[in-house]
A and B are shown apart, each in its own frame.
Chain A
Amino acid sequence: MTGETIVDGEHQQLVRIINLVIERQSQNSSKEDTQSLLDKLVKYAAMHFAHEETLMVSSGCDPRFVEAHKAIHRRFAQQVGRMCEFPSDKGMEHLLRFLTSWLAQHILGIDQSMARQIRKIRRGVTAESAYLEEKEIQTDPATSSLIDAMNALYGVIAARNDSLFELNRGLDAQVSQRTRELADANARLTSDQAKLVEVLNKYEDTQQKLLQSEKLAAIGQLAAGVAHEINNPIGFVNSNLGTLKTYISHLLDVVSAYEAVGKGADVTVLAAAIKKADLDFLREDLPSLLTESQAGLSRVTKIVQDLKDFSHVDQTGRQLANLNAAMESTLNVVSNELKYKAEVVRELGDIPEVDCDPAQINQVFMNLLVNAAHAIEHRGTIFVRSGIADDGVWFEVEDTGKGMSDAVMSRIFEPFFTTKAVGQGTGLGLSISYDIIVKRHGGKLDVFSGEGKGARFRIWLPKSSNVGAEGV
């Protein structure tokens, strides 16, 4: 007790508030709750310090003492503020311990000293001698030196606290700087990734277009052969129809002559008409003209059907397909290209249906067959074989052509690699075949050849595969 009513009352109030904070803290009440109570404590302390300072001045205490006391107040407010600003894990616990010890020390130490000086001044002692007496007080040397030591200790801690605070602030600035840099780097990475995704999409798009254009180029190569094959029947059917027109007009002349004779005309008219029509020849030629023309039209129909089967225009994507039939339809389409170059020998085995994209497999078959025909310089044989192996089916296309060297063989699956003359091939056929068989169907595409020894391409496809199911 200081003996000063206001000061003592306020001291009691401070101790009550601290007890309340400790109670709240031990009950684990919400942070906001404890925080608001702390705020209240700090405000109350500030008010109390103001009262003490006014009291010291109005009582006429020695200015040196007033200044020292004020400084202690200021430091306290500063320390509490910093502790609140940088709460650590044990922040609240540390803060409470600081508050209780500081207030105990303050109330029992300097405040008591202040009260004694005020009392002496009221008794008529000068402020200066009261202050000096207080400094020399010997009544309780242990307590006095203890308080001095604590003040000193407190000063050291406060100084340490200050440097820690500075360090903390620097760290904080560093952390926020690093955070900014990280955020920038992150943003760059995100935009880089977006660009990569875009490039990847473009690449896939290009790959699809390449596949499509290679298919078109291959069909273009076939087109000349197919045109020849279609133009031949159309040519003779058309010509036969023209001849038929002449035949019929001659026959109608004969009929007219018969009518004329019926109406009483001379019989020689009829004989002349019959002679002109060459009736005997017509009797013999007319049926064969019609039969040949019909056969010609059937051939055109079949070519169109073969083209449809080959391109699978009506069925795209993955399905169970009989690849022997696919090979047949491809052979039908390519036969126009092959028949002037080679005899095709089929050695097709009994194979199960395979889960695949038949239009793509046909494209591979076509590439292999056209390549085989191109490899044959004059006339040769192309063997087409199939069979079952390793839970899948295999196909072979072998030719008796000029074959290739090891150097060429090592590069044939590279895009744009070709040994054909400009305009003869795109250099993409085998590269795309490899893509279709290996990447899209999870199969294998192998080649066996030597210079002058012909070439044998072997495809193996699994019965069912889950690889690259995208359609083209």
Chain B
Amino acid sequence: MSRILILDDEDSILKSLKRLLRVAPCTVGNKTFALEVETFGSPLEAIERARHEPFDLFLSDFRMPEMDGIEFLKVVKEIQPDAARLILSGYADLNALVRAVNEIGIDRFIGKPWNDYELLSAIAQSLAHRELMLENRQLANLVRLDMGDITPETLEAQRLEALEPGITQVNWGPDGSVLLDADLTNRG
């Protein structure tokens, strides 16, 4: 099951995408991805969700009130760097597109109005690409482990870091105390 987060300030868009992904198969080659879709109308809520749940793919609108799609994807890239990132936008602005590619390395930029088939295959291709990348990394790590280039501890630390970014970094205070994540303390 691939987990997808969709963000758009327009409720009707979210509903139509949900419908589409429910009925249409998300296929690339002969591989079909079963999808689990969560939709959000607010970037802040979506970020909050991304802090707690892993996703395989983020699909975001560009123009939104609280922050634009690029800022949103930048934030989630920090939280979940391995997830695929796509932009779905009717705002055909070249500057935005350049920023999206250069600043966050999006996988796809899909224009509105979209073609259902193209959207589905873009999602499927991004998911397939991500799977391949993760598999490659895992295999490379196994080889490195075999050859002694990497210790099992480092590998485990990397795995944990991927699960919970920042967990392997300790923030030391000047008096030798351990500082907790500002976000966590703020949230009480």
Point out residues on A near B: beta carbons under 8 Å: 224, 227-240, 242-243, 246-247, 285, 288-289, 292, 295-296, 339-340
A–B pairs, 9, beta carbons within 8 Å: A232-B13, A232-B112, A235-B112, A235-B113, A236-B13, A243-B16, A243-B19, A243-B116, A296-B12
CA distance A228 to B23 in the complex (A): 27
Contact A236 B15 (CB under 8 A): yes
The answer to whether A235 and B90 have CB atoms under 8 Å apart is: yes
Contact between A246 and B16 (Cβ–Cβ < 8 Å)? Answer: no
* Contact yes or no, A227 B116, CB < 8 A: no
Q: How far is the CA of A276 from the CA of B65 in the complex (A)?
A: 40
- CA of A247 to CA of B20 in the docked complex: distance in angstroms? 11
Given contacts A227-B92, A228-B63, A340-B64, contact A234 B113 (CB under 8 A): yes
A246 to chain B, nearest CB (A): 5
A235 contacts across to B, CB distance below 8 A: 13, 16, 90, 112-114
- A444 and B83 CA atoms in complex are apart in Å by 57
Q: Across the interface, which residues of A come within 8 angstroms of B64, CB to CB?
A: 340
Do A236 and B10 contact each other (CB < 8 Å), given the known contacts A228-B90, A228-B91, A340-B64?
yes
CB distance from B151 to the nearest CB of A (A): 47
Which residue of A239, A247, A285, A292 contacts B116 across the interface (Cβ within 8 Å)?
A239
Chain B positions within 8 Å of A238 at CB level: 113-114, 116
- Which residue in A224, A292, A340 is a CB contact (below 8 Å) of B15? A292
Q: Does B149 belong to the interface (CB within 8 Å)?
A: no
B23 touches A243 (CB 8 A): yes
Q: A235-B113, A292-B16, A339-B65 known; A224 and B23 CB under 8 Å? A: no
Contacts beyond the supplied A224-B91, A243-B116, A292-B16: 10 A-B pairs with Cβ under 8 Å: A228-B89, A231-B111, A232-B112, A234-B112, A238-B116, A239-B19, A240-B19, A289-B15, A296-B12, A340-B64
Separation in Å of the A184 CB from the closest CB of chain B?
62
Known A-B contacts A339-B65, A340-B65; A227 and B16 likewise in contact (beta carbons under 8 Å)? no
Q: Check B20 against A239 for contact (C-beta < 8 Å).
A: yes
CB of B24 within 8 A of chain A?
A: yes
User: Is the CB of B93 closer than 8 A to any CB of chain A?
Assistant: yes
**Contacts A235-B113, A239-B114 given; does A227 touch B91 at CB 8 Å:** yes
CB distance from A254 to the nearest CB of B (A): 15
Is B24 a contact of A246 with CB atoms below 8 Å?
yes
Pair B23/A231 contact, Cβ less than 8 Å:
no
Q: Which residues of A contact B90 (CB under 8 A)?
A: 227-232, 235
Chain B residues whose C-beta falls within 8 Å of the C-beta of A231 in the assembled complex = 90, 111-113
Report A1 CB to chain B, min CB distance, Å: 123
Interface of B toward A, CB cutoff 8 Å = 10, 12-13, 15-17, 19-20, 23-24, 63-65, 89-93, 111-114, 116
CA distance in complex: A93, B24 (Å) = 122
Expressed in whole angstroms, the minimum distance between the Cβ of B74 and any Cβ of chain A is: 17
Known contacts A243-B16, A243-B19; A224 and B92 CB within 8 A of each other: yes
Q: Shortest Cβ distance from B34 into chain A, in angstroms?
A: 15
Collect the chain B residues with CB atoms within 8 Å of residue A234's CB. 112-113
CA distance A49 to B113 in the complex (A): 118
User: Which residues of B have CB within 8 Å of A285?
Assistant: 19
Chain A residues near B91: list those with CB within 8 A.
Answer: 224, 227-228
Q: Are A295 and B12 in contact (CB under 8 A)?
A: yes
Task: State A460–B89 Cα separation when bound (angstroms).
Answer: 41
Is B23 a contact of A246 with CB atoms below 8 Å? yes
Once A232-B10, A232-B90, A247-B23 are accepted as A-B contacts, the answer to whether A239 and B16 lie under 8 Å apart by CB is yes
The docked-state distance in angstroms from the alpha carbon of A51 to that of B116 is 129
B52 to chain A, nearest CB (A): 27
Most buried by A among B12, B64, B111, B112: B12
Q: With A and B bound together, what is the CA distance between A230 and B114 in angstroms? A: 13
Shortest distance from the beta carbon of B11 to any chain A beta carbon, whole Å: 8
Report the nearest A residue to B8, measured CB to CB.
A232
In the bound complex, residues from chain A placing their C-beta under 8 Å from that of B112 are: 228, 231-232, 234-235
* A288 and B14 alpha carbons, distance in the complex (Å): 13
Bound complex: CA A51 to CA B15 (Å): 133
Judging by beta carbons under 8 Å apart, are B24 and A236 in contact? no
* B16 A236 Cβ-Cβ under 8 A: yes
With A and B bound together, what is the CA distance between A369 and B62 in angstroms? 23
- In the bound assembly, the distance between CA atoms of A230 and B19 in angstroms comes to 21
Q: In this complex, what residue of B is CB-closest to A230? A: B90
Residue of A nearest to B96 (CB): A224
Q: Nearest 7 pairs between A and B by C-beta? A: A231-B90, A235-B113, A236-B16, A235-B112, A231-B112, A234-B113, A239-B16
CA distance A323 to B185 in the complex (A): 54
Residue on A nearest B90 in the bound complex, by CB: A231
When chains A and B are docked, how far (Å) is the Cα of A239 from the Cα of B16?
6
Nearest chain B residue, comparing its CB with the CB of A336: B63
Tell me the bound Cα distance from A420 to B63 in angstroms: 21
For the complex, what is the distance from the CA of A233 to the CA of B90, rounded to whole Å?
A: 10
A236 to B116, CA, bound (A): 10
B65 to chain A: which residues have CB within 8 Å? Answer: 339-340
Whose C-beta in chain A lies nearest to the C-beta of B115?
A238
Nearest-CB residue, chain B, relative to A296: B12
Contacts of A239 in B (CB 8 A): 16-17, 19-20, 113-114, 116
Q: Which residues of B contact A243 (CB under 8 A)?
A: 16, 19-20, 23-24, 116
Q: Which residue of B lies closest to A339 (CB)?
A: B65
- Distance in angstroms between the alpha carbons of A227 and B90 in the assembled complex: 7
Point out the residue from B15, B20, B111 that lies within 8 Å of A242, measured CB to CB: B20
A233 touches B12 (CB 8 A): yes
Interfacial chain A residues near B15, Cβ < 8 Å:
236, 288-289, 292
CA distance A224 to B91 in the complex (A): 6
Q: Closest CB-CB distance, A393 to chain B, in whole Å?
A: 33
CB distance from A244 to the nearest CB of B (A): 9
Which of A229, A234, A236: most chain B Cβ within 10 A?
A: A236
Least Cβ–Cβ distance between B184 and chain A, in angstroms:
27
